[in-house]
């Protein structure tokens, strides 16, 4: 039963272009209708080669480079200065009115 469930999930999660010898729906029907034999045939004849599954795994976006303390402090200082300028400008506008 565990082999059948494993193969069923494996067929479902395999990309259609990666299935060998038959279309994905064909493999799904074989594994569903012939649990033991279909599962073994899938493992040996239909499942993509191991190297293809590893090298063609979906890529994750690259993690952002962590900031150094100096970069972080510099960005905080720049933002604080921008906020001070904006506050002074608003204060000047209020005083003019």
87's tokens: 């506050």
Residue 28 in contact with residue 11, Cβ under 8 Å? yes
Distance CA 75, CA 85 (A): 15
The reported pTM is 0.50
Question: 44 pLDDT band (50/70/90 cuts)?
Answer: confident
Higher pLDDT, 92 or 54: 92
pLDDT of 68 reads: 77
pLDDT of 43 reads: 86
Number of domains in the chain: 2
pLDDT tens digits for range 4-42: 899 889 888 888 888 888 888 998 899 999 889 988 998
Residue 61 lies in a domain: no
Q: CA dihedral in degrees (31, 36, 37, 39; nearest 10)? A: 50
Residue 95 lies in a domain: yes
C-alpha pair distances (Å), 32 with each of 5, 19, 21, 55: 9, 16, 17, 28
What 3-state DSSP class applies to 1? Answer: coil
CA 46 from chain center: how many Å?
25
Residue 92 lies in a domain: yes
Give residue 83's domain range.
67-97
pLDDT of 65 reads: 67
Residue with tokens 């005083």: 95
pLDDT tens digits for range 49-79: 765 555 555 566 666 666 678 888 899 999 9
Mean pLDDT of all residues belonging to the chain = 83
Looking at the fold, whether 6 and 34 belong to one and the same domain comes out as yes
C-alpha pair distances (Å), 20 with each of 44, 51, 85: 10, 14, 65
């Amino acid at each position: 039963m565990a082999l059948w469930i494993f193969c069923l999930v494996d067929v479902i999660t395999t990309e259609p272009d990666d299935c060998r010898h038959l279309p994905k729906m064909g493999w799904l029907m074989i594994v569903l209708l012939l649990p033991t034999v279909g599962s073994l045939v899938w493992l040996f004849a239909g499942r993509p080669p191991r190297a293809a599954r590893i090298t063609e795994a979906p890529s994750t976006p690259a993690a952002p480079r962590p900031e150094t303390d100096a970069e972080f402090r510099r960005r905080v200082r720049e933002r604080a200065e921008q906020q001070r300028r904006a506050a002074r400008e608003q204060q000047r506008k209020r005083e003019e009115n």
